[in-house]
């Protein structure tokens, strides 16, 4: 018997076995995220995946009476809360601190706020004003710092993400009859008092007619020190690096997405009519939102299922139930990251007093509120190894 031949055969067998255990790339060359329950999404209690939930009641005073909230972001003990009237800062425990700038046409003021983002490195709040084609920067205490101008072709920004090198990645809504934008994403760099852009991803040939529709709710995240992007009608995760965007992962867990031939056939159709046709033909909308905590990347798939991915394995979730509040919700509607802090109205807690009676902390919170108080923010604190524990609990 040839010992060398046997050894060689064993080595080959081990290599083949190891290769078969790895996640295999798809035909298009992208690595498929390893989803362990593609055909069996689970319904879980929120405490299956979080250790605790922080609830922060915002101080109610004559200085700051909030209306319907638009978005909330966090940096440490600072909470930045936008409503229709302006942008307000709350501190530890929800104590009101100050307003960021003021609405107006004087120097350092803004007429419109389309969105805002945080420059956490320089501790600045940046307000996007597409109408006046500018981005205004303020210190956390509300003091005006500086302003950068946008070129007319760039002034339709929906949202922004700050990258490690100081670049700004900007997402643009779908093209429509009001704004003819050729980019889905652009990267901005400062040049004097102007932000100069470069297209890094072209817009798809779609139109919402006379509607202004961003479609991707949360299109960009930073996860494991990498910047990931989603694209309209795509099941791919793109990465931004060194001024370029390229696909790196594919989520293969839903019906087929519309191909180029399908989109070309329906080119110019009202977007919402197109969605109806896609639903009738069981064609997926792909990834419609991204979110990320320090340990997990979340993706909303086809506006129905949520993917939780730890970088190695992923789990599909159909619904999430908060047993403390007797409430179904999604991990991608707020609370999962500092970029999208969640909130409930004070009225909601007052109505939920009986449901929250099982939790002493929530019961005390409900007792301390009146229906007209400012909203209550919430943040999830996720478990370590949550994906692994869910696989074991649900025998996936």
Helix (H, G, I), strand (E, B) or coil at 298: strand
DSSP structural state of residue 290: E
What is the pTM assigned to this prediction? 0.90
The predicted pLDDT at position 10 comes to: 45
Series of mean pLDDT values for 10-residue runs along the chain (396 residues): 46 40 57 93 95 96 93 98 96 97 90 95 96 96 96 93 92 86 93 94 88 90 96 96 94 83 89 93 94 97 94 95 90 95 94 75 90 96 95 93
The predicted pLDDT at position 208 comes to: 87
Bridge partners of residue 108, in order along the sequence: none
d(CA 102, CA 15): 64
Tokens of 104: 């107006």
The predicted pLDDT at position 254 comes to: 67
Helix (H, G, I), strand (E, B) or coil at 175: coil
Among residues 53, 55, 96, 88, the alpha carbon closest in space to that of 70 is found at 88
Domain ranges of the chain: 24-393
Query: Please, what CATH class does the domain formed by 24-393 belong to?
Result: mainly beta
Among residues 39, 34, 38, 30, the alpha carbon closest in space to that of 250 is found at 30
CA distances from 243 to 120, 199, 226, 301 (A): 21, 10, 13, 27
The predicted pLDDT at position 25 comes to: 53
The predicted pLDDT at position 357 comes to: 64
d(CA 24, CA 148): 46
């Amino acid at each position: 018997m040839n010992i060398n031949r046997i050894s060689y055969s064993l080595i080959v067998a081990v290599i083949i076995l190891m290769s078969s255990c790895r996640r295999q790339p798809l035909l298009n060359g992208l690595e498929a995220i390893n989803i362990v329950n593609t055909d069996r999404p689970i319904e879980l209690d929120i405490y299956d995946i979080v250790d605790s939930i922080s609830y922060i009641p915002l101080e109610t005073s004559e200085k700051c009476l909030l209306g319907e909230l638009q978005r909330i972001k966090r940096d440490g003990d600072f909470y930045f809360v936008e409503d229709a009237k302006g942008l307000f800062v709350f501190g530890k425990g929800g104590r009101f601190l100050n307003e960021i700038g003021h609405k107006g046409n004087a120097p350092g003021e803004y007429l419109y706020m389309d969105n805002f983002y945080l420059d956490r490195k320089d501790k600045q709040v940046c307000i996007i004003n597409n109408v006046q084609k500018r981005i205004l920067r303020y210190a956390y205490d509300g003091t005006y710092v500086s302003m950068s101008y946008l070129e007319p072709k760039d002034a339709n920004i929906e949202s922004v993400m700050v990258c490690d090198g100081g670049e700004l990645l900007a997402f643009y809504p779908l093209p429509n009859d009001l704004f003819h934008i050729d980019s889905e994403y652009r990267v901005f760099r400062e040049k004097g008092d102007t932000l100069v852009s470069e297209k890094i991803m072209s817009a798809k040939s779609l139109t919402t007619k006379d509607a202004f529709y961003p479609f991707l709710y949360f299109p960009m995240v930073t996860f494991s020190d990498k910047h990931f992007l989603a694209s309209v009608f795509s099941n791919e995760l793109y990465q931004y690096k060194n001024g370029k965007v390229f696909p790196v992962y594919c989520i293969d867990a839903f019906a087929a997405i519309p191909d180029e031939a399908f989109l070309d056939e329906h080119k110019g159709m009202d977007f919402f009519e197109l969605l109806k046709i896609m639903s009738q033909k069981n064609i997926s909308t792909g990834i419609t939102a991204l979110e990320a905590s320090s340990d997990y990347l979340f993706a909303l798939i086809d506006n129905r299922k949520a993917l939780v991915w730890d970088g190695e394995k992923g789990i599909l979730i159909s619904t999430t139930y908060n047993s403390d509040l007797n409430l179904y919700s999604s991990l991608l509607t707020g609370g999962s990251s500092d970029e999208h802090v969640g909130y409930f109205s004070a009225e909601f807690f007052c109505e939920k007093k009986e449901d929250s009676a099982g939790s002493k902390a929530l019961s005390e919170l409900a007792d301390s509120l009146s229906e007209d108080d400012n909203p209550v923010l919430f943040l999830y604190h996720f478990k370590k190894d949550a994906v692994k524990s869910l696989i074991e609990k649900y025998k996936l």
